Amino acid sequence: MSIVSKRVLVTGGAGFLGSHLCERLVDAGHDVLCVDNYYTGRRSNVAHLLDSDRFEILRHDVTFSLFVEVDEIYNLACPASPVHYQHDPVQTTKTSVHGAINMLGLAKRTGAKIFQASTSEVYGDPTVHPQTEEYWGNVNPIGIRSCYDEGKRCAETLFFDYYRQHQLQIKVARIFNTYGPRMHPADGRVVSNFIVQALRGDPITIYGEGQQTRSFCYRDDLVEGFIRLMDTPAEVTGPINLGNPVEFTMLELAQNVIDLTGTSSKLTFQPLPADDPKQRQPDISKAKKYLDWEPKVKLREGLTHTIAYFEQLLKEID
């Protein structure tokens, strides 16, 4: 059966996840418009797509209106690591809130189906474990992470109000920790931090005692989840958790990175940052039910691919 080609807008399309999504959509035969202001995205992430007549890129900030004709919108635009979103917290909130308003307005005008890349950060420092979509969260509204947490929560509010008030076709995914090639080496996320430190022989920084947990989903699995959610019937709006339910402590992650890189790096311990969640693990029952989706890539396999990417990148940088 031939695939019907669609006009697809991906905001944040030159970022870590956006670039892989653009690649998948182009490979599937769709016409893709990648929009990015390059705050954290990089043109090099999509440079290999520029020769395709199905791909175009536009430098644009989603906090300003955009007038294009599209069938589907994937709204991924927003810095997603604490280092980047805390650098300009006001702009981070604007990107989540104004960006959502502008993209929802575009979807309303064009009749496009629209996907929101939300986050597990809407759960804050959870008191329920693992986290289901029905959990309302334990979020500090005035802390240093609030620009991201509350910005994404407000974006979800807007999506569901547009759905109820204007009957928009919406899809909301709550993304848990994701890793893989094209992560920014200075994004401050734990996987990239550990790998870069290990490859350079620097001490590996553990915050607190290293017993806080995260669940790591490889980028290919996550992008597959995006596409499956977008393709669900109209009544499936989400929010739906997308992430790997297998939980690791920071010490376990660090040991895996040390083993796979063969580094001589030692562990160094620093105070735990403010509002850093102690546990983060998704309940993916809904993803299994509605998307027939669950992660396939094991942590050590994904880390092997990611380490190879950073080895090559550091050669070019260093």
User: Both tokens of residue 227?
Assistant: 């596409």
Cβ count near 42 (within 10 Å): 15
DSSP state of 235: T
Where do we find the tokens 């699995």? 221
| Pairing mode of beta strands 247-249, 213-215 | antiparallel
| Rg (alpha carbons) of the chain, rounded to whole number | 19
Element (H, E) at 66: none
204-207 and 240-242: which strand pairing?
unpaired
**104 alpha carbon, distance to own chain's centre:** 19
Its sign, for the CA torsion 145, 220, 76, 162, is negative
Please tell me the distance from the alpha carbon of residue 172 to that of residue 18, in angstroms, as a whole number: 16
Question: SS3 for 13?
Answer: coil
Q: Which two tokens stand for residue 69?
A: 């004709």
Question: Could you write out the DSSP letters of every residue in 165-225?
Answer: HH---EEEEEE--EE-TT--TTS--HHHHHHHHHHHTPPEEEETTS--EEE-EEHHHHHHH
> Which one-letter amino acid corresponds to residue 280?
R
Supply the DSSP string of 258-288, one letter for each residue.
HHHHT----EEEEPPPTT--S---B--HHII
Catalytic residues: 148
